[in-house]
């Protein structure tokens, strides 16, 4: 009788649950079908009846992009060209000119030619502005003109470019380009190896493992793994790189989604290379995604000391889903959680402020590492040891984003000769030149205080304030502007590091920059010093 009562209670509950879920699914399905029908009829009527000729493909592209903008910046529609670029980025191989290029409306800017590749062989330099490719002027080309630089290996492309105000031309023979995940590794001293892991493409694990074994063969008993400026990449590579340093079967990351099949635990599945070698991992504000999985989980497992500056804070996982006509939707499918169970996503894209901007998380939850150390979620990976020169700030970011540091480096390169990377020195006199360059440029950025004051001054509703008050506001704005220029001195260390990095690349390419780091970079010097002090290293990790 007792069993019968139990069944009579449970069955209605299950039925009710099924009814709720079923009705919810039907409701969602009906709403989706309804909205698709509305959009389809609208799109048809618009194209048939609008007063001028319309371009259906452009209208649809705009509609899709605007729809996705309300979600997060990582959920994107990929057309056929985008799909190919996405594949190339993950594979690390393509055919082209071998240069990092930034696209503008009327020009392509060479940001960094890669040493020994076609653009470099043709004499192109960082700062060169490509204005014509073949017979096509970049300003007249509606799509991304950088696609015109790609082509089969051995084919040629004629370009016209502007350098320091002069118009030049050259012919580039395209070649096969290999994008290394590990562009540099070397011994810092007799016992410490240094590995730069710059991206998590399909070569990341293989090249990191090869570098690690080679360094160990050269006598490395300690390792510095540099993930600074690494934007991430393949999740599988993040797991496998972590696996080089931790045993088989360790939980590295968990993904959680509303779609059940995307809920997964990712554990190491291979035999490690070395689970004991002392390890320091370097991160900064541009270390994101897969970089944060590696650094965050090595921190959670107390396998490495993390040094540098707080990482970017991208705790979202994307997957490309195939659509029709060769297109794809790269969609955020889940959040990831490091070994301790924390999600380091910094921006909340689903709760925005009054201006529609994502809200930055400021309330952090505490978690514990394997040894019981406190770590937090919600704002990237916070290093165990922070390095001042690696940190960033609004002023430095504005100088970078507005190409002020880049443009100064271009002028510096064409005005100064540097014979050897070890001879390079950026003096206080040079920094004073940079400050003068900033003053003479059209560089400006608006602080929150300036924005608030400007809003307070504008609008007829503020007419009652009177001229005296308005003049005071204007004086305050002028003082803030003056303060921003003075802030160049306050943040000299951070700004100068970015200047040195950009200038050295002009003369000695990225390889020369990493060589310079070995004896000049604050984070690497601090990491080497820590690894020399085994008792301090172990005390940070809570090892007994």
Q: Which residues are catalytic?
A: 289, 300, 314
Q: Is 440 exposed, middle or buried (0-12, 13-18, 19+ CB in 10 A)?
A: exposed
DSSP assignments along 20-56, one per residue: HHHHHHHHHHHHHHHHHHHHHHHHHHHHHH-SS---H
Dist CA 159 CA 449 (whole Å): 45
User: Nearest Cα to 102, choosing from 42, 146, 36, 149?
Assistant: 146
Backbone angles phi, psi at 297, to 5 degrees: -75, -35
**Dihedral (C-alpha) 93, 96, 101, 107: value to the nearest 10 degrees?**
-160
Dist CA 36 CA 89 (whole Å): 33
453's CB contacts (< 8 A; 6+ apart) are 473, 476, 477, 480
Q: Is 147 helix (H, G, I), strand (E, B) or coil?
A: helix
Other beta carbons less than 10 A from residue 185's beta carbon: 23
Beta bridge partners of 187: 193
**CA distances from residue 186 to 215, 324, 425, 516 in whole angstroms, order as listed:** 7, 47, 22, 12
331's CB contacts (< 8 A; 6+ apart) are 75, 318, 319, 320, 321
Token pair listed for 114: 């890669």
Token pair listed for 483: 């303060």
Dist CA 327 CA 49 (whole Å): 28
């Amino acid at each position: 009788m007792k069993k019968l009562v139990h069944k009579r209670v449970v069955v209605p509950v299950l039925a009710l649950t099924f009814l709720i879920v079923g009705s919810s699914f039907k409701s969602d399905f009906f709403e989706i079908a309804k909205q698709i029908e509305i959009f389809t009829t609208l799109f048809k009527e618009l194209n048939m009846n609008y007063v001028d000729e319309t371009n259906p493909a452009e209208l649809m592209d705009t509609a899709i992009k605007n729809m996705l903008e309300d979600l997060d910046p990582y959920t994107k529609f990929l057309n056929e060209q985008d799909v190919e670029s996405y594949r190339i980025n993950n594979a690390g191989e393509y055919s082209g000119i071998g240069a990092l290029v930034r696209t503008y409306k009327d020009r392509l800017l060479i940001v960094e030619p890669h040493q020994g590749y076609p653009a470099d062989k043709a004499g192109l330099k960082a700062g060169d502005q490509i204005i014509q490719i073949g017979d096509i002027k970049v300003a007249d080309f509606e799509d991304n003109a950088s696609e015109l630089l790609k082509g089969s290996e051995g084919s040629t492309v004629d370009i016209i470019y502007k350098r320091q105000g002069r118009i030049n031309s050259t012919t580039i023979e395209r070649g096969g380009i290999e994008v290394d995940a590990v562009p540099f590794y070397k011994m810092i001293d007799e016992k410490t190896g240094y590995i730069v892991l710059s991206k998590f493409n399909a070569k990341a694990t293989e090249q990191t493992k090869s570098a690690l074994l080679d360094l160990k063969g050269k006598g490395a008993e300690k390792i510095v793994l540099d993930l600074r400026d690494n934007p991430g990449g393949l999740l599988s590579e993040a797991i496998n790189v972590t696996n080089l340093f931790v045993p088989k079967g360790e939980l590295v990351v968990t993904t959680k989604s509303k779609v059940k099949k995307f809920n997964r635990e990712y554990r190491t599945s291979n035999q490690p290379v070395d689970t004991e070698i002392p390890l320091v991992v370097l991160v900064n504000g541009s270390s994101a995604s897969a970089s944060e999985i590696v650094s965050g989980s090595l921190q959670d497992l107390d396998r490495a000391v993390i040094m540098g500056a707080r990482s970017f804070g991208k705790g979202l996982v994307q997957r490309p889903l195939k659509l029709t006509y060769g297109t794809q939707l790269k969609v955020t499918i889940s959040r990831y959680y490091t070994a301790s169970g924390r999600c380091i996503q910094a921006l909340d894209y689903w709760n925005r402020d009054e201006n529609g901007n994502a809200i930055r998380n400021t309330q952090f939850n505490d978690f514990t590492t394997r040894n019981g150390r406190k770590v937090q979620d919600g704002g990237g990976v916070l290093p165990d040891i922070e390095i001042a020169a690696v940190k960033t700030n609004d002023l430095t970011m504005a100088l970078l984003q507005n190409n002020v540091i880049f443009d100064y480096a271009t002028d510096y390169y064409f005005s100064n000769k540097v014979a050897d990377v070890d001879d390079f020195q950026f003096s206080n006199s040079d920094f004073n030149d940079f400050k003068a360059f900033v003053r003479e440029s059209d560089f400006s950025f608006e602080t929150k205080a300036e924005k608030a004051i400007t809003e307070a001054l504008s609008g007829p509703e503020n007419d009652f304030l009177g001229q005296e008050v308005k003049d005071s506001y204007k004086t305050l704005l002028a003082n803030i502007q003056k303060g921003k220029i003075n802030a160049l001195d306050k943040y000299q260390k951070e700004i100068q590091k970015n200047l040195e990095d950009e200038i050295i690349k002009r003369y000695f390419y990225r390889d020369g920059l990493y060589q310079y780091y070995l004896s000049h970079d604050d984070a690497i010097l601090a990491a080497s010093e820590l690894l020399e002090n085994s008792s301090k290293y172990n005390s940070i990790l809570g090892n007994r």
